[in-house]
Structure 1
Amino acid sequence: MPGLRAHISTGALGRNIDHLRATVSPARLMVVVKADAYGHGALTVARVAQQHGITDLGALDLATALRLRAAGVPPEVRVLAWLYAPEQQFDEAIAARIDLGISRLSELERALDATRRRRAAGDHDAVAHLHLKLDTGLRRNGATAEEWPALVDAVARAEADGLAVARGVWTHIAEASEDDDTEALRRFERGVELARAAGLTRIERHLAASSAGLRRADVRLDMVRMGGHCWGIPSFDGVTPRDIGLEPVMTLTAPVVGVRSDDARAGRVGIVQAGYGDGIPRLAAGLVSVTVDGVRFPIVDVDRDELTVADPDALLTVGQTATLFGTGAHGEQTVREWGDAIGTLGDEITARILPRVPRAVGDEFVG
């Protein structure tokens, strides 16, 4: 009997990407695959994204970026990394043609030093491809307004020396209020003006992520970065995937492996083969349900390897398949509904599903 399994629908993923690309056009869409694409599989998502015309991937860390290149993501697909260990060296990144998010002069110098070493070793086409990050108020790294002029001037000199290409200027915005986002946009535009005045004329602008990228056309600029919306997890409160034209990509299923009377709970219960050892939140107990044959069974306990679900009408039998969350097409809850009930984000729940849980990747999943 197969155990807990995450079914990844590449068909739904592709349709989501097509819909989001059309929505943000003429801006481009960057698909962000950090945290193993929040449990959906960074390599799987990257392959589907390429098939649907995506030329920009956000990796967050260098290990992910290098893994994508090693798996065959070609140099014409730009892969951006921006979170580094202190004193990170960039030789592998320069060799693999990884785009680097740069916030500090010290990062820039290490990137240029790596480029010089690559050239000395015979890689005469080596160049540092840079996206310069400006802090616009969120304090999520990025150069401050005081640091920005020196950073863009140094990058302009590196461009003149042929060691670097400034591909982008970018930031993160809070997406907490429209007024805050508007002010962040104004600060960002001032930073772009300074960069262009310094001679960085080839830069593209990107500051919006999933939420702002759908809500506001004025912040899409040249590119929008999206993760959760690509796998059909809305970032808006009170909104279903269908409301914004998306489909959940992951369906999580597990077998019913036992039924028994439970005097402590004054009724019959079923046992489902999944637990907090697999990444199921313990807070799920009492808040969400599994679904079997269109009927919901509330989760009453989350143990390490099993879920206990209420079965007052004795409907469950061993061998049935329980859907923990999915598309909602068969009566099951979506992962966004799980997140709302538990008080967290849906993509946090999918990201917690352990890598050892098998991913069944296919065009569609019919529960």
Structure 2
Amino acid sequence: MRLSLLEPLIDRPGPWASVYTEVPPASTADAVKQRELSARALCDQLTGQGADAATCNSLYEALSRRPEGVVGSPGRSIGRAVFATEGKVLLDTPMPGPPPATLAAWSALPRIAPLLDGLGEDPVCLVVHADRSGAEFELRRDLGRDPAGRIRNSGWPVRRTSERPERHYRAEVDSAWEHTAQEIADATRELWEQSGCEVLLLVGEPWVCHAVRDRMPEPLRSAAAETEHTERPGSPQLERDIAQVRAVHEVEHIADVLDRYLAGRADHGGMKTAVESLPALVQAAREHRIDTLLLAPGGTDLGREVWVGADPDQLGVRSSELHYLGEMHPQAARADDALLRSAAANGAEAVVVHDPAEAPVGGIGALLRWPAPDPH
């Protein structure tokens, strides 16, 4: 997944309050009371760990309210991750399901590793509902949909009259549709580039989808999937189609990353394009060489202690390393959180690997942007 979601957490020095909790369905009779009790208990835990009153108060106010703009499955609980420091909530994001465990942590860095596992890849899907009259666009994620605009065929010819021969009318209709199909293709390309979508689904009659797709540039044309189900948003069949194309993309993306990672660990003339030992990962992070970070929940290296400074590039296996990086007061942090913060600051991605047979040794590995000498 792309780590741009973590941007609000990158440049603040901390310490941080990190909370993972379950949000009961809004229809539950005592949902409000449950949220208030849970918020109080979590804030009490943070206070016991040394969190300041202002930060705890801001968290309590946020946790006592249900997350806004969330469209989850009716009757099902969702998860929620909230991060705060210096009396302010900097990130409050829902997750499609409850977290594996409720967590309240006060630490030098935000506890962001569980967020990746809770969110999964969550690829953003651009759905284009197209027909001769125009198109409607929406962005789809695990927890909701966002309207993204519409196009209407303003050049549609007026209705046919006896004074207008059939061939003239048909020519005007075809010309209007050609123009509309190009407008839809152009608008789709712009939305794709602006929104950072990873999946594209064209919805409509096959000839409509084909006409729009043929006018798209590569690689967008190759990335587009089509469905002939013309039901409007919310129909069961269309929801299944959207879920399927997103799931296929997620599986293919993780498989591609793992293939490149396994190939990159092989020695190519003393150089490697993938690393997995903690010292090598820390060095690669400091040098901005990490392209994709791989994390396997439960790995032994995830919770190992590293040392960090205020800047994401200030991290080391030993505290003495931070002195050479300009940080006179290094703090201990978890390796997964420190590497994720650095990766997010430098535009890298991350994937969660659940298969132990494919997981990096120790639970953390990285694909590199350029090769590095093999330390062995």
TM-score by length of 1: 0.26
Higher relative contact order (CA 8 A, sep 6+): 1
